[in-house]
Structure 1
Amino acid sequence: MPSYSIEGVIPVVHPEAYVHPTAVLIGDVHVGAGCYVGPLASLRGDFGRIVMLDGSNLQDSCVFHTFPGTEAVLGRAGHVGHGAVLHGCRVGDGVLVGMNAVVMDGADIGEEAFVGAHAFVKAGFVVPPRTLASGSPARVVRDLTAQELAWKANGTRVYQELAARSRASLREVEPLPAPEPDRPTLSTDASTSVPLGEARASEPNKRLVE
């Protein structure tokens, strides 16, 4: 992975984490055990400290940064969707931040809360634990259900397993000109996890997160 020191401060990555080779880590960055950092993610600890606690994931093209002299934290088993931006915020344990969401400086996302896709969480905004915040600017919409929390926890486990799978077998290769006749299948299928739309359809009498 591209990893850079600045003023002698070097990123720290736990041996049981996985950071994609195209992700960039700069300076005072700490990536905990079982974490997954996706392709093209940027973690810039060049002003203040950036912390990913154990079992969290930061997916493709995410940005994690902070203002000078401050610390930004993604809590244990945090789950940050593709293209999201975290800046100078504190994201609690078990939180889900949806795709392309932006969480600004001083925002505090409570444990197991959800931030909806494309939401804009303004500076200093507080999202209580186990609630859904969505919109631009984000507002707290409602409490989360036990089913929603279980759905999220399963998705995070899948990413923790992906960190292990990637450490074990992800390698850069040349693509094939055509598929092999005995092409192997991946170890994941619809029994591992399903998109929200399918989950809603399978249990129509129970709410899942919007």
Structure 2
Amino acid sequence: MPGHILPYRGVTPRIHPDAFIAETATIIGDVEIGPNASVWYGCVLRGDANKIRVGAGTNLQDGTIVHVNHDRSGDYRETGGGMPTLIGDNVTVGHQVLIHACTIESNAFVGMAAVVMDGAVVEGQAMVAAGALVTPGKRVAKGELWAGRPAKLMRTLTAEELAELPYLAEHYQETAASYMAERTG
């Protein structure tokens, strides 16, 4: 499989065979990636101190970093503590995003160079604007656009913007499929 897929403390990433992993992506430890998901060039997913889950059809675009928060009392596999990173199905994550110990629900959008921090939740059909900083514990509700540093509610999404969200995920699924076809010749 392409990319740097590395075990950590006896846990090897589990990647669906239909997922696209770019050659320069690095995936470490307790990470699961669903079918038709794509992890693009220069991404790092480091599930060393907790788990990372990436749903079906989700795309993590070039340069994205995904990490977790550790449990100070011990190994999260024994204590259940710390904070994992959970990314749902058909999520679009733009280039150079930092996702840390948070939840991004299915059908959400996170724009380029945004940061989503510990304990934050981006609900399905919500949008985080490019360059936004979603601070710890914030909740971006369904149908909302948050922008700024720190991010705050700017407005509700239009019907056109909501309709665009599935297209973006589908476009990256198609692009990933074409990359995979190139590999198999």
Match of 2:7 in 1: 5
Q: CA deviation at 1:108?
A: 0.6
Q: In 1, Cα distance between the equivalents of 2:143 and 2:89? A: 15
Q: In 2, Cα distance between the equivalents of 1:60 and 1:115? A: 17
Residue 164 of structure 1 aligns with an amino acid whose one-letter code is A
Match of 2:131 in 1: 118
Retained in 2: the 8 A contact 1:83–1:100?
A: yes
Match of 2:177 in 1: 164
Match of 2:78 in 1: none
Sequence identity, in percent? 39
1:142 alignment partner, SS class: strand
Give the gaps of 5 or more residues in structure 1: 172-210
Match of 1:45 in 2: 47
Retained in 2: the 8 A contact 1:100–1:117?
A: yes
Q: In 2, Cα distance between the equivalents of 1:88 and 1:14? A: 22
Match of 2:38 in 1: 36
TM-score (norm 1): 0.79
Give the gaps of 5 or more residues in structure 2: 71-81
TM-score (norm 2): 0.90
Q: CA deviation at 1:170?
A: 4.1
- 4+ runs deviating over 3 angstroms: none
Match of 1:134 in 2: 147
Residue 117 of structure 2 aligns with an amino acid whose one-letter code is M
Q: CA deviation at 1:119?
A: 0.2
1:20-169 alignment, distance < 5 Å: 20-68=22-70, 69-169=82-182
- Between Structure 1 and Structure 2, whose CA radius of gyration is higher? 1
Q: CA RMSD in A?
A: 1.0
Retained in 1: the 8 A contact 2:83–2:119?
A: no
